[in-house]
């Protein structure tokens, strides 16, 4: 959808070229954080990536994301692949932007009603 400028459900050659550049940039970033060159990002690598990208997330939240997006079946040492890394980062950015719109004082807290929260999530995620 990000590269379908006409909203036709298709992308032209220019949209495809933009998509390819987008993925290559994410792949480069992924490889930067994949310190052991395993082709996947572990918990410690993910924590470091979030920190360097400016997200101040607790280890518990990072573990929740890792458990949610790790390959199945459950693994004692879960890790995520490139596609899921991109997905997590895109969702974090989108929800962070939505949060910042509500956090006008930039204090890190907002007061939201349940429907406001749902609206924020649905318009950003679905």
**CA torsion, points 67, 73, 89, 95, in degrees to nearest 10?**
-60
Give me the pLDDT at residue 6, please. 83
CB of 120 closer than 8 Å to CB of 98: yes
CB of 22 closer than 8 Å to CB of 11: no
What's the CATH number where 63 sits?
1.10.238.10
pTM: 0.81
Number of domains in the chain: 1
Residue 8 lies in a domain: no
Residue 75: pLDDT above 60? yes
Residue 18 lies in a domain: yes
**Please, is 11 exposed, middle or buried when counting C-beta atoms within 10 Å of its C-beta (0-12, 13-18, 19+)?**
middle
Query: What pLDDT digit, counting tens, does each position of 19-44 carry?
Result: 999 999 999 999 999 999 999 999 99
The Cα–Cα gap between 4 and 14 comes to 10
Domain enclosing residue 49, as ranges: 13-123
């Amino acid at each position: 959808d990000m590269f379908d400028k006409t909203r036709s459900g298709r992308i032209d050659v220019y949209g495809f070229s933009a998509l390819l550049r987008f993925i290559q940039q994410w792949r480069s970033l992924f490889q930067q954080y994949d310190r052991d060159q395993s082709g996947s990002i572990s918990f410690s690598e993910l924590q470091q990536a979030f920190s360097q990208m400016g997200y101040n997330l607790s280890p518990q939240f990072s573990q929740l994301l890792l458990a949610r997006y790790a390959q199945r079946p459950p693994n004692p040492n879960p890790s995520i692949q490139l596609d899921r890394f991109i997905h997590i980062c895109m969702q974090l950015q989108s929800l962070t932007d939505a949060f910042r719109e509500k956090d006008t004082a930039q204090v890190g807290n907002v007061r939201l009603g349940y429907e406001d929260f749902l609206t924020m999530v649905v318009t950003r995620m679905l």
